[in-house]
């Protein structure tokens, strides 16, 4: 089983039970470069990802 | 009304057009620093005073102030400018609502959008503002009797913004508030939910918001980003409903960078690298 993370229509799978921070690190996505949402609500980096859920990531403008 | 002459506006710079729309009870003065930065980056900014605001016409009849009527006047004014080239829109709060509507109605002409604490649905409003929206007849009467010193004081008491507003800026905000027609309160009672049209707006969009917005719920902005097909976001820390005023340098930089990254800018300005979505 897995957790699905979606960023700009691209899907990534990670194992459930890890934190959002660890999942992003594993996918080599900078935590500062995205906002993570579950059912439309923002979640924090310490959130534990649950089996079967879909986390949508929103790109945060960077630079400057 | 003859919209081509009744909307007062300012234009600055020389280049591709950017239209900037202020929020309720504000004016084109909101954009004074962004207009300069856009001009320096090679754009031409156009900032109108919406109906009932600033130096624009202030009809006495409430029907001129419904959201639909305000939009129609803005659309007619914009069409009358006959701008050429890809159009970019920047909208704050109510101006964001109008920008989204325009982008939906004119998908071929809007190249990109910047929405700053945009209004998209009455559900975003805090309970107090929802109450105001239900009784525009009463709130417009109350509006007529608010003294300038009280508006100035209230702005000073907004702890999320106060430290970022100079005395001059507070005076300008209070002045814009007081010179707006009380009938603008009819706008808040006639706005509608834009959620159903959001997935159909394909223009690249940058959503900026203050994380301490007391007027519109900050949690609504990530939800908006999820519903727009091509959105990215920039939350501004320790800012309220007007980050483009309180943190103008920071916000202006992001707006200019965003417009410069869009493919149409690169096509018009050879030598600038095109932005590619990964």
Contact B258 A42 (CB under 8 A): no
B183-216 pLDDT per residue, tens: 888 888 889 999 999 999 999 999 999 998 888 9
Q: Could you say which of A40, A60, A61 has the minimum Cβ distance to residue B226?
A: A40
Section B209-237 average pLDDT: 92
| Mutation site for A-interface testing, chosen from B232, B251, B252, B273 by largest number of A Cβ within 10 Å | B232
The yes-or-no verdict on residue B125 having pLDDT over 90 is: no
ipTM: 0.77
Question: Residue B173: its pLDDT value, please?
Answer: 83
Burial string for B113-135 (b: 16+ CB within 10 Å, else e) reads bbbbbbbbbeebbeeeeeebbee
Cβ A41–B219 below 8 Å, yes or no?
yes
Q: B253 to chain A nearest CA, in Å?
A: 7
CB B90 within 8 A of CB B34: yes
Considering only CB atoms, A59 lies closest to which of B219, B232, B254, namely B232
Do the Cβ atoms of A60 and B257 come within 8 Å? no
Which domains are assigned to chain B? 3-268 (3.40.50.1820)
Predicted confidence band of residue B85 (pLDDT cuts 50, 70, 90): confident
Can you list the domains of chain A with their CATH numbers?
3-59 (3.10.20.30)
Mean pLDDT on B110-124: 95
Under the banding of pLDDT at 50, 70 and 90, the label for residue A64 is very low
What's the pLDDT band for B2 if we cut at 50, 70, 90? low
- pLDDT for position B269: 46
Q: How confident is the model at residue A47 (pLDDT cuts 50, 70, 90)?
A: very high
- Please name the helix (run of DSSP H) or strand (run of DSSP E) that holds residue B267, with its range, or none: helix B263-268
Residue B10: what pLDDT? 97
Interface test with A, best of B206, B209, B222, B258 (most A CBs within 10 A): B222
Local confidence band at B164 (pLDDT 50, 70, 90 cut-offs)? low
- The one-character DSSP state at B55 is T
**pLDDT tens-digit series, residues B251-274:** 999 999 999 988 765 445 443 333
Going by C-alpha positions, the residue among B22, B54, B1 that lies closest to residue B178 is B54
**Cα A64 versus chain centre, distance:** 24
> What are the percentages of helix, strand and coil residues in chain B, rounded to 5?
50, 15, 35
- What is the sign, positive or negative, of the torsion defined by CA atoms of B209, B198, B190, B109? positive
């Amino acid at each position: 089983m897995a957790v699905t993370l979606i960023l700009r229509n691209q899907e990534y799978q990670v194992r459930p039970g890890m934190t959002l921070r660890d999942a992003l690190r594993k996918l080599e996505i900078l935590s500062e470069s995205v906002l993570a949402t579950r059912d439309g609500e923002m979640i924090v980096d310490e959130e534990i990802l649950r089996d079967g859920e879909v986390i949508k990531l929103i790109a945060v403008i960077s630079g400057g | 009304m003859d919209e081509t002459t009744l909307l007062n506006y300012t234009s600055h710079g020389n280049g591709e057009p950017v239209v900037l729309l202020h929020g309720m009870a504000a004016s084109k003065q909101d954009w004074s620093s962004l207009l300069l930065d856009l001009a320096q980056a090679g754009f031409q900014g156009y900032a109108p005073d919406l109906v009932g605001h600033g130096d624009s016409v202030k009809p006495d009849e409430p029907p001129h102030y419904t959201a639909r009527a305000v939009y129609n006047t803005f659309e007619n004014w914009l069409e009358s400018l006959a701008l050429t080239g890809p159009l970019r829109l920047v909208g704050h709060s109510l101006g964001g609502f109008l920008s989204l509507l325009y982008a939906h109605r004119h998908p071929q002409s809007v190249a990109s959008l910047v929405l700053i604490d945009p209004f998209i649905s009455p559900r975003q409003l805090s309970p107090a503002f929802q109450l105001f929206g239900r009784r525009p007849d009463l709130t417009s009467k109350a509006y007529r009797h608010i003294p300038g010193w009280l508006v100035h004081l209230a702005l000073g008491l907004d702890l999320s913004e106060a430290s970022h507003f100079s005395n001059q800026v507070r005076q300008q905000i209070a002045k814009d508030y007081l010179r707006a027609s009380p009938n603008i309160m009819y706008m808040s009672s006639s706005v509608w939910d834009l959620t159903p049209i959001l997935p159909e707006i394909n223009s690249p969009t940058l959503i900026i918001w203050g994380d301490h917005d007391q007027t519109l719920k900050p949690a609504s902005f990530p939800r908006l980003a999820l519903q727009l097909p091509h959105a990215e976001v920039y939350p501004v820390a320790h800012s309220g409903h007007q980050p483009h005023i309180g943190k103008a340098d920071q916000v202006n930089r992001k707006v200019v960078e965003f417009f410069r990254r869009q493919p149409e800018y690169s096509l018009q300005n050879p030598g600038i690298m095109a932005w590619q979505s990964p």
